């Protein structure tokens, strides 16, 4: 409630103001300022009836554009990346020759350096404090350029050969040619750690016979970030069985989205 008007009473000309009167007024003022300011409820109160907190009283979000687009605010930060479905924005891998061969696919899963970040799906996030971050991503992916090895088979060739070419393409449609997964480096000395529940598998189209293998993949997962710099990257591992493998050639990653939401309070 506001200051007591009986204490803060007016004086008339000629009145003497005693020291005690001054002291009472100071004590009442002290009570008021030390936690005595209360919201206005009929009939008394100190806050205005209408809302008065304006933008100037609130620390407004900061928006940052290229090259590290993000929004920083009080309760949360959002870091985002976007690549359009434009061939000029395409990220591609083609490792027909010179690839690093892993003994087994599962072996590669434990070797972070075998996984290459997908352009547009990585970010270094500076966390103001330890927090939970929600990572969301999506991408459109397909393979291209692989061959069934029967390039000269035409309609006049013997049936069994055409059948075998078709069979090869069908088998290729069941072949996993690369795998994708999220990696997180908290800067705690453990390096990039695979977040296993973000794995996605990409299949061959079988010399472009099965367009159903052109697919959009997506994921969402919460991760715990440490205060300071955290490196998040969504990576791919290209699976090439042997150096002269002509069945697979290119991997195209088109439209891509990557969002990191840090929740602080």
Partner 1 sequence: MGRIKLPEFKENEQITSDQFNEVNNAFQKFTVNGENLANEAINESMVEDESAFGSVQSAGVSFLEVNPASLRDTAHWTSSRRNWMFSGTSSRGAITVPTITKDDNVLVRASCRLKIPDVGAKTFFSGRTPVVKLMLAYRTNVDGTTGDDTGWVFLNETCQEFRMAFSTKIPSDSSLSQLTASQSGASIEGLVLESIYITLWEDRGLMGLSSASRQSDVDSTGFRKVHRDTTDPSETSESRYSLAFKDHNSLHGDFSYTTGYLFNTNTDITNVQFALWGSFYGFDPGGGNSSAGTTGKIRGCLKPVFEKFELRDFNIYGYKIQKSRT
Q: Name the residues that contact partner 1, by CB under 8 A.
A: 2-3, 5, 8-15, 17, 25, 29, 32, 37, 40, 46-48, 52-54, 56-59, 74-76, 132, 134, 136, 138, 159-160, 163-164, 167, 170-175, 196-201, 203, 210, 212, 215-222, 263-265
In this structure, the chain runs to a length of 265
Considering the complex, state which of residue 11 and residue 88 has its C-beta at the smaller distance from partner 1.
Answer: 11
CB of 170 to partner 1, least distance (A): 6
Considering the complex, state which of residue 86 and residue 160 has its C-beta at the smaller distance from partner 1.
Answer: 160
Considering the complex, state which of residue 12 and residue 155 has its C-beta at the smaller distance from partner 1.
Answer: 12
CB of 58 to partner 1, least distance (A): 6
Considering the complex, state which of residue 28 and residue 95 has its C-beta at the smaller distance from partner 1.
Answer: 28
CB of 159 to partner 1, least distance (A): 6
Per the CB < 8 A criterion, the answer to whether 249 and 96 are in contact is yes
How far apart are alpha carbons 105 and 21 in whole angstroms?
Answer: 88
Per the CB < 8 A criterion, the answer to whether 260 and 133 are in contact is yes
Considering the complex, state which of residue 85 and residue 218 has its C-beta at the smaller distance from partner 1.
Answer: 218
Residue 43 carries which DSSP code?
A: T
CB of 76 to partner 1, least distance (A): 7
CB of 97 to partner 1, least distance (A): 26
Q: How far is CA 13 from CA 20, 22, 25, 76, 215, in A?
A: 19, 17, 19, 60, 90
DSSP string, 231-259: EEEEEEEE--SSTT--S--EEEEEEEEEE
How far apart are alpha carbons 236 and 251 in whole angstroms?
Answer: 10
């Amino acid at each position: 409630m506001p200051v007591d008007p009986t204490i803060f009473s007016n004086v008339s000309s000629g009145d003497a103001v005693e020291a005690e009167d001054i002291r009472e007024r100071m004590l009442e003022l002290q009570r008021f300022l030390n936690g005595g300011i209360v919201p206005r409820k009929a009939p008394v109160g100190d806050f205005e009836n209408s809302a008065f907190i304006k933008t100037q009283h609130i620390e407004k979000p900061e928006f940052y554009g290229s090259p590290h687009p993000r929004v920083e605010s009080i309760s949360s930060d959002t870091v985002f990346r976007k690549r359009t479905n434009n061939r000029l924005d395409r990220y591609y891998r083609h490792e027909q020759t010179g690839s690093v061969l892993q003994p087994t696919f599962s072996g590669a899963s434990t070797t972070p350096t075998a996984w290459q970040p997908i352009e547009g799906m990585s970010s270094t996030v500076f966390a103001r404090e330890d927090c939970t971050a929600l990572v969301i991503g999506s991408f459109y992916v397909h393979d291209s350029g692989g061959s069934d090895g029967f390039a000269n088979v035409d309609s006049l060739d013997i049936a069994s050969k055409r059948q075998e070419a078709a069979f090869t393409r069908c088998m290729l449609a069941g072949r996993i040619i690369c795998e994708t997964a999220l990696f997180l480096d908290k800067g705690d000395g453990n390096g990039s750690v695979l977040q296993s529940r973000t794995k996605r598998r990409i299949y061959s189209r079988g010399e472009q016979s099965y367009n159903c293998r052109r697919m959009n993949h997506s994921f969402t997962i919460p991760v715990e970030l440490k205060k300071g710099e955290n490196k998040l990257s969504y990576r791919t591992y290209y699976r090439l069985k042997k150096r002269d493998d002509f069945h697979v050639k290119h991997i195209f990653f088109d439209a891509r989205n990557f969002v990191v939401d840090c929740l602080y309070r």
